[in-house]
């Protein structure tokens, strides 16, 4: 379930409100384009500025539209353990296949606090759980030993989305955790090296616009076609870099607007891209062949 190109879905808005029709069309797009799983309400889905009601509705809409054709891994994390439990229980009741749980942000818990937070969530739900380690957003790094302790003690904690950018740390996670524990890249630029150390795939930002290329990279690697996988890796790199010219998901949503996929609107305190940066993004999209010259 937790392998291949898993897309970190954007949350489309229309006049500041959730655009359910556009969200459904994005799900349909991924059903047709080799995406392995849908991951709504993560960082790219602007979960931090969704109300609880909106958050729950996004999960329900994606689950209903996916109709069990591919897994839905619902983002249900919070810096409030009780809220994370509520959101994860709702995802389970809605029919989500699994949940993605970000490390608590702002609080800066200790490693023991992280352990207790995730264990309490795991004790209150039955669906598989994927930890999400991204210190650049949360101000705290979850150490490999903490991840391994949770993986060994909680049967429904089955993987981690590793976005530390530290391949040595990722290798340590792979070394310490059970063999079937899924090591998933949280960074599109590190998919190929992560696969090389035993990773299973990626929860991807750039897959919002080029799902077949991300899926193709992973498929070629799995077939042993390393040169083809490497060629796709280097082809994708400029596009991946362009997704982070400004804060995610500002760039990917702007790219999607250029491509006619959804509106670029993001909620404050995120904002529209600067015109100069937007032109850089358009040049990369054109060079990739996504826009006409």
In CATH terms, 4-225 corresponds, of 3.10.450.40, 3.40.50.2300, 3.30.360.10, 3.20.20.70, to 3.20.20.70
pLDDT tens sequence across 211-239: 999 999 999 999 999 999 999 999 999 99
pLDDT tens sequence across 121-139: 999 999 999 999 999 999 9
Q: Answer whether 128's CB lies under 8 Å from 156's CB.
A: yes
Tokens linked to 139? 């101000």
Q: Answer whether 214's CB lies under 8 Å from 204's CB.
A: yes
Tokens linked to 185? 């890249």
Phi, psi of 52 (to 5 degrees): -60, -40
**Residues belonging to the chain:** 293
Question: Confidence class of residue 1 from pLDDT cuts 50, 70 and 90?
Answer: confident
What's the confidence (pLDDT) of residue 293?
79
Q: Model's pTM, two decimal places?
A: 0.96
Q: Which residues of 156-182 are buried (b: 16+ CB within 10 A; e: fewer)?
A: ebbbbbbbbebeebbbbbbebbeeebb
Question: Active-site residues: which are they?
Answer: 132, 161
Residue 104 above 80 pLDDT?
yes
Question: Confidence class of residue 176 from pLDDT cuts 50, 70 and 90?
Answer: very high
Q: How far apart are CA 261 and CA 23, in angstroms?
A: 10
């Amino acid at each position: 379930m937790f392998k291949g190109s898993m897309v970190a879905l954007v949350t489309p808005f229309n006049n500041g409100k959730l655009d359910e029709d556009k969200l459904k069309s994005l799900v349909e797009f991924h059903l047709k384009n080799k995406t392995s799983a849908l991951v709504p309400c993560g960082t790219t889905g602007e979960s931090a500025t969704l109300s609880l009601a909106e958050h729950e509705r996004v999960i329900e809409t994606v689950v209903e539209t996916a109709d069990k054709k591919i897994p839905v891994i619902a983002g249900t994390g919070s810096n409030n353990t009780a809220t994370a439990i509520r959101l994860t229980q709702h995802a389970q009741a809605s029919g989500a296949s699994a949940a993605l749980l970000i490390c608590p942000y702002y609080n800066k818990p200790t490693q023991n606090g992280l352990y207790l937070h995730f264990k309490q969530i795991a004790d209150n739900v039955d669906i598989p759980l994927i930890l999400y380690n991204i210190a650049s957003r949360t101000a705290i790094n979850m150490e490999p030993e903490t991840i391994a302790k949770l993986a060994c003690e909680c049967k429904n904690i089955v993987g981690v989305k590793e976005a530390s950018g530290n391949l040595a740390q990722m290798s340590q996670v792979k070394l310490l955790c059970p063999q079937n524990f899924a090591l998933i890249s949280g960074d599109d630029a590190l998919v190929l090296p992560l696969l090389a150390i035993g990773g299973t795939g990626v929860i991807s930002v750039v897959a919002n616009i080029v799902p077949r290329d991300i899926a193709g990279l992973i498929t070629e690697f799995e077939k042993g076609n390393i040169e083809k996988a490497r060629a796709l890796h280097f082809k994708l790199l400029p596009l991946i870099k362009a997704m982070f010219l400004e804060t995610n998901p500002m760039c990917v949503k702007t790219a999607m607007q250029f491509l006619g996929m959804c509106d670029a609107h993001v909620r404050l305190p995120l904002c529209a891209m600067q015109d100069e940066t937007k032109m850089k993004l358009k040049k990369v999209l054109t060079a990739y062949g996504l826009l006409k010259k």
